[in-house]
Chains A and B, each alone.
Chain A
Amino acid sequence: MMELMERYIYAVTRQLPADMKAEVADELRANILDMLSDEPTEAQIREVLEGLGSPQKLANAYDTRPRYLIGPVLYDPYLRVLKLVLKIMASVIFVGATITGIANSSWAAFGEVMSGLVGGLFQAGAWVTIVFAILERHGETLIKEDWINHLPPVEEIFAEKISWSDTISSVVFTIIGISLLGIFPQIFTVNFWGNANWADHILNGHSEFPIFNLAVLASFLPWMLGFAATLIALRIWQLVTGVWTYKIAIANGLYEVFWTVFSLIFISTPNLFNPDFALVFASHEFQEFYQGLNLDFTLDSALGTLLRLVQACIILSGVFNAYSGLAKCRKSRKKVIK
């Protein structure tokens, strides 16, 4: 007869902390017995238990510890970051798979990288969740007591939204680019499919050769990794903020300045390019090829011009990128002042 009651008590107490389990069970049993006559029928027991409510609900009332992974304060940022990270992850894997597929001219290689997609997404999701769960437990300081001093800056009010697709594609291509430079630098090659004859002659049977001198390239790799990590951090900050603020624009500007200087140093490094490269340009066949096009061509002047052109592009794009963020902030600020 009392079986039902014991099952109910067990259902209430099984998830309670050990130190209150036995006590709650005893008390609950005494209370239930009090509500019953000495020889209760099953129908009476059912009625009393139903009056107490579902075991889960009662257990929740006894145990008031916070029992959730991510609470209401962090829930929205959590979802935002989760979506963001999953989008970046999916894009990186897709673009990576495409490049790998093309580089190996094989669908199997594409498929192999793509097969990591589901696992990769779960990994990324798990890490984001773990980080937010830790913030939930230990991040009390995140909610600022002096919020009055931390209201959003004025330039945010009419600020231009930071484009998600631009930012994500910037992160994706940074990750892909740095992976390619780091792992498969040989992918940066020039192919001579069209002119197999003379390429074959110069390069001893190879119709493609790397652009870069791999040893020199490798020496720049730590720097590039540093820049890539900084850029990704900056982009994620932008996405989380969502709009251009002066802080972001200034950080972005500083990044562009350093990146431009670095790029200029990089591109001007002697021996950066594969020595074979010069061999091709210097070759009799190549000169003939160019003279055939009726260009006034000498190797040094051509390379020099090319280098200056690239340097000009680097400087222009750096200045433009650094300035555009600041200009957006100023525009929004003016609107508010009006």
Chain B
Amino acid sequence: MEELLNSLSTELKRGTFILSVLSQLGEPEYGYSLVQKLEEKGMPIESGTLYPLLRRLEKQGLLTSEWDTTESRPRKFYILSSDGIQVYEKLKAEWQSLSAQLQKLMEG
């Protein structure tokens, strides 16, 4: 029972990863800073899931990236592209309506 619940809950959360990531990338972030930020805000994504996801979103044209070599350590920063901004706004609206509908459903 516990195990099933865990797997169902993981599956439910997985659908929200992209929206979570897009929501935080109005400002440039590098991989680990994004991990920390999401954790602080109570929506943790494992680093092993997040790093490949950033790459995929960049490949899909939703993010752009740049290496910052001015600090002591080089870091790759990601930020929403103009496509990314549009997609984020639309997904956000979708999420809000979905969430409202679901709320209604669950109230019976």
Contact = CB atoms under 8 A, between A and B. Distances in A.
Nearest to B50: A31
Given A30-B76, A64-B56, A58 B48 contact: yes
A24 B48 CA distance: 13
Contact of A52 (B48, B55, B56, B74): B48
Interface residues of B, number: 18
Given A27-B31, A30-B31, A31-B32, A53 B74 contact: no
Contacts, number: 49
A51 B46 contact: yes
Interface string A1-33: 000000000000000000010001011101101
Nearest to A54: B48
Given A27-B76, A30-B76, A34-B75, A61 B48 contact: yes
A64 B48 CA distance: 15
Contacts of B52: 58, 61-62
4 closest Cβ pairs, A-B complex? A61-B52, A34-B32, A53-B48, A31-B31
Contact of A27 (B35, B46, B51): B51
A62 B59 CA distance: 11
A308 interface: no
B97 interface: no
A51 B31 contact: no
A30 B46 contact: no
A271 B73 CA distance: 94
A57 interface: yes
Interface in B58-104: 73-76
Given A30-B75, A34-B33, A51-B48, 4 more contacts: A27-B51, A31-B51, A34-B32, A57-B48
Interface string A52-70: 1100011001101000000
Interface in B38-59: 46-49, 51-53, 55-56
Contacts of A34: 30-33, 73, 75
A240 interface: no
A196 interface: no
A174 to B, nearest CB: 52
Given A61-B52, A64-B56, A31 B47 contact: yes
A35 interface: yes
A57 B49 CA distance: 10
A51 B55 contact: no
Contacts of B30: 30-31, 34
Contacts of B53: 61
Contacts of B56: 64
A325 to B, nearest CB: 49
A30 B71 CA distance: 12
A58 B50 CA distance: 10
B32 A62 contact: no
B75 A28 contact: no
Contacts of B48: 51-53, 57-58, 61
A271 to B, nearest CB: 75
B51 A28 contact: yes
Contacts of A26: 74, 76
A201 B56 CA distance: 89
Contact of B47 (A33, A52, A62): A52
Nearest to B74: A30
Contacts of A64: 56
A30 B69 CA distance: 11
B73 A33 contact: yes
Contacts of B76: 26-27, 30
Interface in B1-60: 30-33, 35, 46-49, 51-53, 55-56
B31 A53 contact: no
